Structure 1
Amino acid sequence: MGSVTISRGFFTCLLCFSTLSTWALCFLIMMYPSDLSIVMKHKSFTEPSQTRMPSLTTPKSDIKQVLEDEFDKHIDLVKILKLRAKITRQRLSSNMTMLIPPHQQDGGRVHFYRSKTMKTPPKGLQFIPRQRTCAVIGNSGILLGSKCGAEIDAHDYVLRSNMAPRNNYTDDVGNQTDVMTVNSMATKEALKCITNESSSCYFKYLDTYRYLNGSILWFSKFGVSAKSHFQFVNLFRKHKLNILIAHPFKPLNGMIASLWNMLKKKYSPSSGLFLYTVSVSICDKISMYGFYPFGTAPDGSDLPYHYYNDKFNSFKSGHNIPYEFRKLLSLSKQGYFRIVTDKCVI
């Protein structure tokens, strides 16, 4: 009887495991119906992705198809899902790092949620829905003259950093903006202007925010207090701007540095690394543009620090940008995303 009992238990466990495996497979297929039907093979390369895209006159639908072909060459969804799970476990998903208070949708009372001890997001918050394709934009001078604007805008969702301008640069950087990060320094500078209508910079910032109408403004570096949060809300309400304000529930600097093994290097993660980390929880397929930490282009020409100014400096800052670039390049080669450092036209 003992052997019969063991056999029945064994077959019962086997049946349970088979059932659970079937449910898990069905769940993954439902989440990614068009991507897990084939095995994604990442084609390794020794240089950053050199995308050859159609010209700006090409219909957007055609550009999207070429973009999908590029993703098929470089993206490994299995690895992305594993990284997404790790980021979620470490509480760095967008649901914990981009808190959007509900008052911004219904015009009700102004609430400000931020707590270093908060374990779960408060009820009523709005979250960014899952996106199929995303473009994460850095601000390197490598974008200047790249003609990548049409390709960037062909993505479903576009995330940009540090209030970088698009006006006069749309051919190179595109126009679509769904998320714009604001670091601590930019927040302080903006507050000096928006709280004083008689200041010379008040309308300059107002024009900038009008250009961001319909976007999410993410104070990623935790540098906004309740008072300053209300000041931004009041400005946007006064001028009827549809801009949502998001911020993390606690400082992310150490958490992101730990995720990417940067704690011992004593450098602060850049806004670009912040943006990529969070985008993994939002986006299935990611393209990175404007991430190039050198003052000299591959052809030997000089590059400005940012695409929107002509300052040529030593690229020294509180960030270890070369280390981050090597890290990102390694991730790209492994199939986590595609990084574009070349021109986007034939």
Structure 2
Amino acid sequence: MKTRMLCLLPVILVCSFCSVAFWFFLTNNNVITRPVSKIPQKGSDASESCKGCKDSVLITKALENYSSKWKKQEANFKKFRSLLSSKCHAVSKAVVTQSNTPLGSNVVYDGERRKPLQVTPALFSIFAKEQPFRNATFESCAVVGNGGILSNSSCGQKINSAQFVIRCNLPPLGNGHEQDVGNKTNLVTANPSILHEKYSGLMDRRRPFVESLRPYGQALLLLPAFSYAHNTPVSLRAFYTLEDFGREGPLPVFLNPDYMRRLSKFWRERGLNSVRPSTGLIMASLALEICTNVHLYGFWPFNKHPHDNRSITNHYYDDRESKKNVHSMPTEFEHLLKLHKQGVVHIHLGDCQPNRR
């Protein structure tokens, strides 16, 4: 028995040595089994990295379909404009008037149809007496979005050279922004949320609101008073504020919810499934009906510049994010980019060359 144990001893030693060597190899090559990592949560570095990758893919795709050497395709423009006009009728319906919204009728909110508002004599009296675009066909229109791509763009002169300039959501024009975004304004929109955030819903002092509108001169001030019921009171206060101060600035008019329903349906039929079109898309659509040549500035929904990939802010004046659950900016941009490629609208990306005199 003793002899047998002596014979097995070398085998046992060899096995032990191999086992130790094997674990030593695993330890030094970092292949010891570790707990499975958790999936990165929203807001983590990994999540931000994934978002950056997605944006890079979208940017690459967008630039593949974009050409700075743009040429208007008259046949495509006329075809799209005719289709848009036949569905939406901006010339007669974009703004609430006494003719398209008569006394005693019901205003049906485009965002909540269950709560119609009856047109009383007091409400009827502040509606525009005629459609501002009734006989208007402008040779050139500039629709100015608020994208950070406009920063240091030197596009101000080109924007000002348009016959009709549309701006979105009361953007700042002073403090050195004029060189990039110009200062000419024929129509500017005012989202009710801005009236609440910047001017306390016009429940306190109202002169700061009136004074802030001075840069827009005698432009039309387009208020979406009838998109949702909670937007009506503050929009009416904006109207009365300007009236009380002797109309020292823009002329307030109301966006027609009937037009908005038609426009939303038009874009849904083309694959845009957001809750409602953004202000930028609404204004670009309006311009396509009333303008012969449509130029879009500040329409770039990504945080990287298309030319040198540098980081840019969400807006040319701040870095506040838009409401992603309401609007789908990248998808909207795809639709506009398609129109650019077809020669229907001219999207300007990057820097503008100053006009030579």
TM-score range, shorter chain: 0.5 to 0.7
Aligned residues: 266
- 2:244 pairs with one of 235, 238, 246: 238
Q: How does 1:202-281 map to 2 (within 5 A)?
A: 202-220=206-224, 222-223=226-227, 227-240=233-246, 241-250=248-257, 252-261=259-268, 265-281=273-289
Q: Secondary structure of the residue that 1:294 maps to in structure 2?
A: coil
Structure 2: distance between partners of 1:154 and 1:264? 32
Q: Secondary structure of the residue that 1:74 maps to in structure 2?
A: coil
- Gap regions ≥5 residues in structure 1: 1-44, 52-72, 103-110
Structure 2: distance between partners of 1:145 and 1:96? 37
Residue 176 of structure 1 pairs with residue 176 of structure 2: no
- 1:138 pairs with one of 145, 148, 166: 145
| Greater mean deviation of Cα atoms: 240-249 or 330-339 | 240-249
Q: How does 1:1-346 map to 2 (within 5 A)?
A: 46=64, 48-50=66-68, 73-99=70-96, 115-116=107-108, 124-128=129-133, 129-168=136-175, 169-189=177-197, 192-197=200-205, 202-220=206-224, 222-223=226-227, 227-240=233-246, 241-250=248-257, 252-261=259-268, 265-298=273-306, 299-311=308-320, 316-345=324-353
Contact 1:182 1:217 in 2 (8 A): yes
Q: Secondary structure of the residue that 2:305 maps to in structure 1?
A: coil
Q: What letter matches 2:316 in structure 1?
A: Y
C-alpha deviation, 1:193, in angstroms: 4.5
Structure 1: distance between partners of 2:337 and 2:197? 33
Structure 2: distance between partners of 1:178 and 1:319? 25
Contact 1:182 1:221 in 2 (8 A): no
* Aligned equivalent of 2:36: none
Structure 1: distance between partners of 2:345 and 2:201? 38
Q: Deviations over 1:149-201 (max 9, x none)?
A: 0010011010011111111201000100111112242244467343322xxxx
RMSD across aligned positions (CA)? 3.3
Bigger radius of gyration: 2
Q: What letter matches 1:48 in structure 2?
A: Y
C-alpha deviation, 1:228, in angstroms: 4.3
Q: TM-score, normalised by structure 2?
A: 0.65
C-alpha deviation, 1:297, in angstroms: 0.9
Structure 1: distance between partners of 2:347 and 2:128? 37
C-alpha deviation, 1:250, in angstroms: 1.9
Structure 2: distance between partners of 1:228 and 1:112? 22
C-alpha deviation, 1:76, in angstroms: 2.2
Structure 1: distance between partners of 2:323 and 2:311? 13
Contact 2:225 2:232 in 1 (8 A): no
Runs (4+) off by over 6 Å = 111-114
